Structure 1
Amino acid sequence: MTPAAIAPWAAASVGVQVGAAMVATRFVVDESGPATLAMFRYAIGALCLLPVLRWQRQPMRFARGDILPIAGLGIVQFGLLIALLNYGLSFIPAARAALIFASFPLLTMVVAALLGRERLTLAKTSGVLLTMAGVALALGDKLLEPGRTDGFIGEGAVLLAALCGAVCSVLYRPYLQRYPTLPVGAFAMLASVGFLALLAAGEGAFSGWAGYSAGGWVAVLFIGVSSGIFYFVWLWCLRHTSPTRVTIFLGLSPVTAALFGVLLLDEPLTLPLLAGIAALIAGLWLAHRPEGRTE
Structure 2
Amino acid sequence: MVVLCVIWGFQQVAIKSSVQEMSPVFQVGIRSALAAVLVGIVMVARRENLSLRDGTLRPGLLVGLLFGGEFLAVSLGLNYTTAGHMAVFLYTAPIFTVLGFHWLVREERMNRAQWLGVGVAFAGIAVAFSGSFFAPGGKNLLLGDALGILGGILWAATTLVIRGSRLSETPATKTLFYQLAGAGVMLLLYAWLSGKVAAATWTPRLGVNLVFQTVVVAFASYLYWFWLLRKYLASRLSVFSFLTPIFGITFGVLVLKEPLDPRFVVGALLVLAGITIVNRR
- What is aligned with 1:230? 221
Pairing partner for 1:152 from 126, 138, 142: 142
Task: Classify 1:83/1:242 alpha carbon distance in 2 versus 1 (closer, same or farther; 3 Å).
Answer: farther
- What is aligned with 2:180? 189
1:202-244 deviations in whole A, cap 9, x for unaligned? 1335548x41332222222212222222233455677899999
Aligned-residue sequence identity (percent) comes to: 25
Residue 172 of structure 1: SS of its match in structure 2? helix
Task: Classify 1:158/1:184 alpha carbon distance in 2 versus 1 (closer, same or farther; 3 Å).
Answer: same
- TM-score with structure 2 setting the length: 0.76
Inter-partner Cα distance in structure 1 for 2:156 and 2:27: 22
Pairing partner for 1:18 from 8, 22, 25: 8
- TM-score with structure 1 setting the length: 0.73
- What is aligned with 1:178? 169
Task: Determine if contact 2:87/2:248 at 8 Å carries over to the other structure.
Answer: no
The one-letter code sitting in structure 1 at the alignment partner of 2:33 is A
In the alignment of these two chains, the number of paired residues is 278
- What is aligned with 1:254? 245
Inter-partner Cα distance in structure 2 for 1:25 and 1:167: 24
1:142-187 deviations in whole A, cap 9, x for unaligned? 9975345433322222221111001111211233432111122123
Task: Classify 1:60/1:247 alpha carbon distance in 2 versus 1 (closer, same or farther; 3 Å).
Answer: farther
Task: Classify 1:281/1:194 alpha carbon distance in 2 versus 1 (closer, same or farther; 3 Å).
Answer: closer
- What is aligned with 1:109? 98
> Are residues 1:88 and 2:77 paired?
yes
Task: Determine if contact 2:33/2:185 at 8 Å carries over to the other structure.
Answer: no
Task: Determine if contact 2:132/2:138 at 8 Å carries over to the other structure.
Answer: no
> Are residues 1:199 and 2:194 paired?
no
1:116-152 deviations in whole A, cap 9, x for unaligned? 16221344455566678899999xx999753454333
Residue 105 of structure 2: SS of its match in structure 1? coil
Unmatched tracts of structure 2, length 5 or more: none
Unmatched tracts of structure 1, length 5 or more: 1-9, 291-295
